[in-house]
Amino acid sequence: MPEVLKAPLVVEFPFTRSLGPVQSAFLTGLRERVVLGVKTGDGRTLVPPVEYDPVTAEEIRDLVHVGSTGTVTTWAWNPEPRRGQPLTAPFAWALVRLDGADTALLHALDAPGPDAVHTGMRVRIRWAEKRSGAITDIACFEPYDGDDAEVTVHAGEFQDPVIGIVAPARLDYTYSPGRAQSAYIHALSDRRTVGERCPSCRKVYVPPRGACPTCGVATAEQVEVGPRGTVTTYCIVNIKAKNLDIEVPYVYAHIALDGADLTLHGRIGGIPYGQVRMGLRVEPVWTEGGRYPDHYRPTGEPDADYDTYRELL
Amino acid sequence: MTSEDVSGLRDVAVVAFAQSDTLRTTEEQSEVEMLMPVLHDVLGQTGLRTADIGFTCSGSCDYLAGRAFSFTLALDGVGAWPPLSESHVETDGAWALYEAWTKLLTGDADTALVYSYGKSSPGSLRDVLTRQLDPYYVAPLWPDSVALAALQAQALIDAGETDEPALAGIAARSREIANPRAQLRGSVPHGDYVVRPLRTGDCPPIGDGAAAVILAAGDRARELCSRPAWIRGIDHRIEAHSLGVRDLTDSPSARLAAERAGAFERPLDTAELHAPFTAQEVVLRKALRLDDSVRINPSGGALAANPMMAAGLARIGEAAARIHRGESDRALAHATSGPCLQQNLVAVLEGDPR
Ligand SMILES: [Zn+2]
């Protein structure tokens, strides 16, 4: 078996999320160094606050100003902080019940070591210097030995409230395409197109994915196809894609390579876009260093008869 | 759905179970290449072909391998032509089994293929799982899966319900098993703290794998299996969203699911628990009222192999397989999803009297 192909794959997605009235007040409050909770119907105070009662699903809106000091209800020592976590030096994760609250908030606790942390210990919020209305406006908690804070009713009204957050996320993967697609990509590097034949229905799949989707069995027998093929259908692209250096309009086509039972797609060049047609015979055009055909161009052969590709549409 | 709700409806059973080895990496295989032998195995046990199956349902999660719509490619391994009656859940396959079970109860189908798979090796699983958390208050802090489980473990220790040696005992028992498909077997060092109080040994191995079962109703089940594992009830429940609202030392959702699945109506002899972290077994034993008369996780459970999205389905499959083999008469199977046992599914399986 040829070497397994691998490539880095980064998935990045900034989610823009709107906030409900309670979340908006809470996150705006953090920006102003005020922690708000919300009262449930049975008189409990939830911090962090939510829009609906977790027990009754009743809409809850009565805000209270709770302390920025509190008590650790459970903790866990994190010896190796990971990307994105609140502190870069070892810290404790902690659930903290702020003074005046009945529920606990998750955050980091900055402490010199696990021996300095225990359940029941008193902590206070260390505010971030730059605050924007996000949970990270709390930089972390830190040990504290003062008194409990007073709890007061709060209207939750601020100038310029935060109404949304942008939550960036990034995940790093090492992608490997598997046996069949690795073999296909290896062959492409020799400018050969190699598909795989289903042992049951005998169809040749290009590119191969390792299984015949009709029969549900593994494909293994390798079959070189092309390089020439037939345009089975096409469209004319009139909108320029971002980061794509191709002049519009251009033709994007399904191409049945000779010997293949599945079409692949590619751009058609070397012919005015208005003259591309079903049945047009084409061949790949490789560019220096290209790992796959840059585009396909007419071979000059007579068009293929419709019956030769009607099953491949 | 409770055991009472389903009495009078059709009897539905697990008639076959198959799973792959769980491996730290399967980089030489695509997802469908990893899954397909498991599908062939489970179909082969019953002699059914894809065309004979009335309903197909799968469970997987695109975030694990970072591949969008990977479940549609996985369908290649089923053989989806002519078109199937098919569905998918973006969670553990145990929930796919729940969907298939309800489909069979309605009489829409007599047989169902349920499968699930997870390839965790391409990504960093601890970080990937942070993306399932509350996006406003929790996910921006990137608390990883081990950290959250460690908070739960510490809460149990503080409550006097367990201690580190007891957790190490759960880890050791879970790996003293004969399961040839397990990723961790035999003597495994308990290791250093990953996130204190959890050590390497308290955490599940990260691995790639797949599982599949076949369900059948009534006489069809008896034709396909000499001792079907009849599903007497399944229910699934969820805890409050915010970790700080929950009592992490208990699992009211698992208890309620068990009650509604009929688990407490008669004694059980076996329980397959999906407890990825040692301390979670302590929570589940209490919530599910499992005493020492019940054999816990003869397969090794998630501490021996935890292919994401397949480990819960495998618990149902393992419990059913013991009934098929005559090693159990009445078993509980449990599956979980989310941080600190956020969601819990309980199934009760029985064999015919011997
Ligand atoms: Zn085929």
- pLDDT per residue as tens digits for the range B286-342: 999 999 999 999 999 999 999 999 999 999 999 999 999 999 999 999 999 999 999
Q: Which residue has the higher pLDDT, B200 or B1?
A: B200
Q: Per-residue pLDDT averaged across B26-47, rounded? A: 95
Q: Give the model's pLDDT for residue B280.
A: 98
CA dihedral A42, A48, A52, A54 (to 10 degrees): -60
- pLDDT value at A278 more than 70: yes
- Band the pLDDT of A149: cuts 50, 70, 90: low
- pLDDT value at A1 more than 60: no
**Cα–Cα distance measured from residue B272 to residue B284, given in angstroms and rounded to the nearest whole number:** 11
- pLDDT value at A13 more than 90: no
Task: Give residue A196 CA to ligand 1 midpoint distance, Å.
Answer: 10
- pLDDT value at A156 more than 90: no
Structure tokens given for B35: 């899954």
Residue of B nearest to A98 (CA): B244
Q: Give the model's pLDDT for residue B153.
A: 98
DSSP, res B258 = H
Cβ count within 10 A of residue B295: 16
Q: Give the model's pLDDT for residue B225.
A: 97
pLDDT cut 70: percent of chain B above it: 98
**Cα–Cα distance measured from residue A147 to residue B251, given in angstroms and rounded to the nearest whole number:** 34
Structure tokens given for A1: 């078996």
Q: Give the model's pLDDT for residue B238.
A: 96
Radius of gyration over alpha carbons of chain A, in Å?
31
pLDDT cut 70: percent of chain A above it: 98
Helix (H/G/I), strand (E/B), else coil: B221:
helix
Structure tokens given for A130: 């730059």
Q: State the number of CA atoms in the 13 A half-sphere of B224 facing the CB.
A: 31
Sign of the Cα pseudo-torsion (A77, A79, A82, A85, in order): positive
**Does A117 contact chain B (CB < 8 Å)?**
no
Cα A282 to its chain centre, rounded Å, is: 37
Average pLDDT score over chain B: 95
The verdict on ipTM greater than 0.90 is yes
Under an 8 A CB cutoff, do B135 and A15 touch? yes
CB-neighbour burial class of residue B26 (10 A; exposed 0-12, middle 13-18, buried 19+): buried
Residue of B nearest to A108 (CA): B141
Q: Give me the domains of chain B, ranges plus CATH numbers.
A: 12-123+207-224 (3.40.47.10), 125-204+231-350 (3.40.47.10)
- pLDDT value at A153 more than 80: no
Average pLDDT score over chain A: 93
**Cα–Cα distance measured from residue B231 to residue B218, given in angstroms and rounded to the nearest whole number:** 11
Q: Per-residue pLDDT averaged across B61-88, rounded? A: 90
**Cα–Cα distance measured from residue B269 to residue B257, given in angstroms and rounded to the nearest whole number:** 18
Cα first-last separation, chain B: 27
- pLDDT value at B1 more than 70: no
- Band the pLDDT of A150: cuts 50, 70, 90: low
Q: Give the model's pLDDT for residue A222.
A: 95
- Band the pLDDT of B4: cuts 50, 70, 90: low
Mind listing the pLDDT tens digit for each residue in B92-133?
Answer: 999 999 999 999 999 999 999 999 999 999 999 999 999 999
DSSP, res B20 = P
Q: For B145, phi and psi rounded to 5 degrees? A: -60, -35
Task: Give residue A35 CA to ligand 1 midpoint distance, Å.
Answer: 62
**Cα–Cα distance measured from residue B101 to residue B346, given in angstroms and rounded to the nearest whole number:** 13
Under an 8 A CB cutoff, do A171 and B27 touch? no
- Band the pLDDT of A3: cuts 50, 70, 90: confident
Contact A210, A184 (CB under 8 A): no
**Cα–Cα distance measured from residue B259 to residue B151, given in angstroms and rounded to the nearest whole number:** 27
Diameter over CA atoms, chain A: 91
Contact B202, B42 (CB under 8 A): no
- pLDDT value at A42 more than 70: yes
B345 bridge partner residues: B236, B335
Task: List the Cα angle A259/A265/A270 in 5-degree steps.
Answer: 95
**Which residue from A82, A165, A211 is facing B142, i.e. has the nearest CB?**
A82
Contact B337, B331 (CB under 8 A): no
Mind listing the pLDDT tens digit for each residue in B268-286?
Answer: 999 999 999 999 999 999 9
* Contacts across the A-B interface (CB distance below 8 Å): 192
Q: Give the model's pLDDT for residue B176.
A: 94
CB-neighbour burial class of residue A28 (10 A; exposed 0-12, middle 13-18, buried 19+): buried
- Band the pLDDT of B2: cuts 50, 70, 90: low
Q: Per-residue pLDDT averaged across A65-78, rounded? A: 96
Q: Per-residue pLDDT averaged across A176-191, rounded? A: 92
Contact B215, B109 (CB under 8 A): no
Structure tokens given for B39: 């599908």
pTM exceeding 0.90: yes
Q: Give me the domains of chain A, ranges plus CATH numbers.
A: 7-170 (no CATH), 226-313 (2.40.50)
Q: Give the model's pLDDT for residue B3.
A: 60
Contact A60, A40 (CB under 8 A): yes
**Does B155 contact chain A (CB < 8 Å)?**
yes
Q: State the number of CA atoms in the 13 A half-sphere of B325 facing the CB.
A: 8
Under an 8 A CB cutoff, do B81 and A214 touch? yes
- Band the pLDDT of B67: cuts 50, 70, 90: confident
Q: Give the model's pLDDT for residue A246.
A: 85
Candidates B33, B67, B161, B202, partner chain A, best to mutate (most A CBs within 10 A): B33
- Band the pLDDT of A167: cuts 50, 70, 90: confident
With beta carbons under 8 A apart, name residues in chain A contacting B80.
213-214, 216
With beta carbons under 8 A apart, name residues in chain A contacting B140.
84, 134-136, 165, 167
Q: Per-residue pLDDT averaged across B168-178, rounded? A: 95
Q: Give the model's pLDDT for residue B275.
A: 98
Q: Which residues, 6+ apart, have CB-to-CB distance to A279 below 8 Å?
A: A230, A231, A303, A304, A305, A306, A309
